[in-house]
Structure 1
Amino acid sequence: MWRYTTYKPCKQPHLACSKIRQFSSSAPGAVTGRLEKNGTQPTRPFWKLNDTEKIQARLDEMRHVKWGFIFYRCTYSDESSWQHFMNIVRHRARLDIHETGGGTKAITSSLEISSREDESKFEGATIDQIREHFENWVCDSSKSILGEQGRDANICPTARYIYPIHVDAEAMYSVVESAPQPPARDKDGVGYVNLINSYWRPQESSSQCDEGFHEQDGNDDVGYMRVCLQGLHPRVYSLLSSADAYHVFYRPPPKVFIR
C-alpha cells in the first residue's frame, strides 16, 4: 500500500533546477535575521515581526524584489467569473495587508499576483498535473526567474516558487458565488483555493510503520490543502517563510485552513 508523505530535506534546495532539488514539505529555513528601522530602533527577532515585516525581511535576506503566489487557472467555462475571481484575490490581498498595520509602500509595490492561463494545457488539470508543470517551469525558467528578482538574487527559492495555487471550478465558485464579498470578512473560510506543495512526493510505506496509528491519523499529507482566500496574502505567505510551517497548519481536504 502507499502512504502519502514527504521526504525530509537533506540540503537547501536551489532554483537552479527543481528536478534535482531535494524535496521538502516546507519552505527553506526560517529567516534568522533581525529588522532595524532607520538604525535607531532596537532590533527584533524574526518571530516578533508582523506578517508584512517577515515578508520584507525574507525579501531582503534573499535579495528578491517580488513576492506573491502564482495562480493556475484550471477552469475556462466563464471568463467573467474568472476576472471577478482575480479581482477579489487582489482586493483581499490589499485589505489583508492593511489589516496587518498597512505594511510599507515597498511591500505593497513588490506584491505580484500572477496567473498562468492556457486552456489547451490547464483546462481540468489535476493537482498532480499542475505540480509537474510548475516544477518544469521553475527548472526551465530558472535564469529568467532570477533575472526578475534582481541581479544579486539568492538562488534559494521563496514560497513564490514552491507553492503554486490551483484554481478549479469548485474553488472559483466558492470565492465568487458562495463566500462573503470584500470588504466583508470570510470568517468561516467559505472561499478557498488549493495550495500545492511542489516538493511533495508519495512514499511507499515501510512494513515497520505502525499502520494502526497511521489509519487513525486524520492529517495525512496528500500534497495540497485548501486555504481560505482571506489571509492568503500576506498571512499564509509569511507563514510559509518559516521552516516546517506547512506541516504545522496543514489541514487535509476538504478541511479549509483559516488564518
Structure 2
Amino acid sequence: MASPRDPSKRTPEIESWMNGADKLERLLDRDKFKAWGFVIYRCTYRSDSEWEEFIVRIHKRVEEYLGYYNGLDLVGSFAPTVLEDRSFEGATVISLREKFNEWAVTAIKEEQGIDPSHLWHLKNGRYRFFIMVDQEALDSVLSTPEDDIHEGFVRLVNAEWKPEELDEEELAERGGPGPEEEPLEGCTEEDVGWMKVCWGHSQMPGYLQLDGSFDWDMYYSRPPVIQSLS
C-alpha cells in the first residue's frame, strides 16, 4: 500500500483529507473560529431528564466521531449552544428562523470576535443553520438504542431560506407554476427550508457537510424523509 502523500498528523496511515478531525480543524482555521457546532432550539419541556439524556447523546456522538479520527483535541471547542424558552414549545420554523437570524448577528461578534458583515462569507455553518428539537424529534431519538445513530431525527433548519417568489416572466419561462406539494407549516414548495436528519449526523459529520445553499440543495430531502448527512 502506497504511503500517503499528505498524511494526517492524527492518523498518519491515511491522507489528511480523509480524516474528519483534520477537515474540521482546517474549516475552523479558515474562518478563525474559536467555537463550533450547530445551535439547538429546545422546543419541548415535558421532561428535563429526557432533555439531558438527549444532550448527553449529542456530546457522546461527537466525541465518538472525533475519537475515531484521533481528534479529541477539538472536543473542547464544541459548543452546541442550547437556546431555551418555554415560548419555543409549539413554535413554527418560520418564527424560530427569525429569532435565530437576530441571534446570529450579535453572537458571531461575541463568540468569534468576527464582524457580522462577514457572516455570509464564512464556510462554517454555525450561523446559517440550526437544529430544532420538538417532542416528536426527542421521542424519536430516545426511543432508539443509544448506539443507533441512523434512527431518530432532529429538524435541521436553513436560516437563509426564503419562500420562492417568481414574477410572471419567470413563471412563463418555467411553463407556469409547478405542482404544489402537501403543505408543511403552510409551505407547498418542494424545499420548505428544513429537513429531518439522522440525529447522529446532525452535528458530526453534518457540520462538515453543510456550509451554504449549494450543499443544502445536495442533501435536502422533503419531510417526512429522514436524511443522512454522512
Q: TM-score, normalised by structure 1?
A: 0.70
Report matched runs for 1:1-259 at 5 Å.
48-99=17-68, 101-105=69-73, 107-119=74-86, 121-139=87-105, 141-142=106-107, 145-150=108-113, 155-156=118-119, 157=122, 158-177=124-143, 179-181=144-146, 184-186=147-149, 189-205=150-166, 206-208=170-172, 209-211=174-176, 214-215=178-179, 220-241=190-211, 244-258=214-228, 259=230
Q: 1:151 to 1:241 in 2, by over 3 A?
A: closer
For residue 90 of structure 1, give the secondary structure of its aligned residue in structure 2. Answer: helix
Question: Relative contact order (C-alpha < 8 Å, sep 6+): which is higher?
Answer: 1
Structure having the higher helix fraction is: 2
For residue 241 of structure 1, give the secondary structure of its aligned residue in structure 2. Answer: coil
For the Cα contact (< 8 Å) 1:96–1:231, is it kept in 2? no
- Aligned residue pairs, count: 207
For the Cα contact (< 8 Å) 2:158–2:194, is it kept in 1? yes
User: 1:243: Cα distance to partner?
Assistant: 6.4
Q: 1:180 to 1:204 in 2, by over 3 A?
A: same
Which structure 1 residue ranges, 5 or more long, are not aligned? 1-34
| Partner AA of 1:192 in structure 2 | F
For residue 202 of structure 1, give the secondary structure of its aligned residue in structure 2. Answer: coil
Distance 2:130 2:214 in 1: 17
Deviations 1:170-212 (A, max 9, x none): 00110112x221xx233xx321100000000002344222458
Q: Structure 1 stretches (4+) deviating beyond 6 angstroms?
A: 35-38, 151-154, 216-219
For the Cα contact (< 8 Å) 1:165–1:193, is it kept in 2? yes
Distance 2:114 2:217 in 1: 33
For residue 26 of structure 1, what is the aligned residue in structure 2?
none
Which structure 2 residue ranges, 5 or more long, are not aligned? 1-5, 183-188
The RMSD of aligned alpha carbons is 3.0
Identity in percent: 30
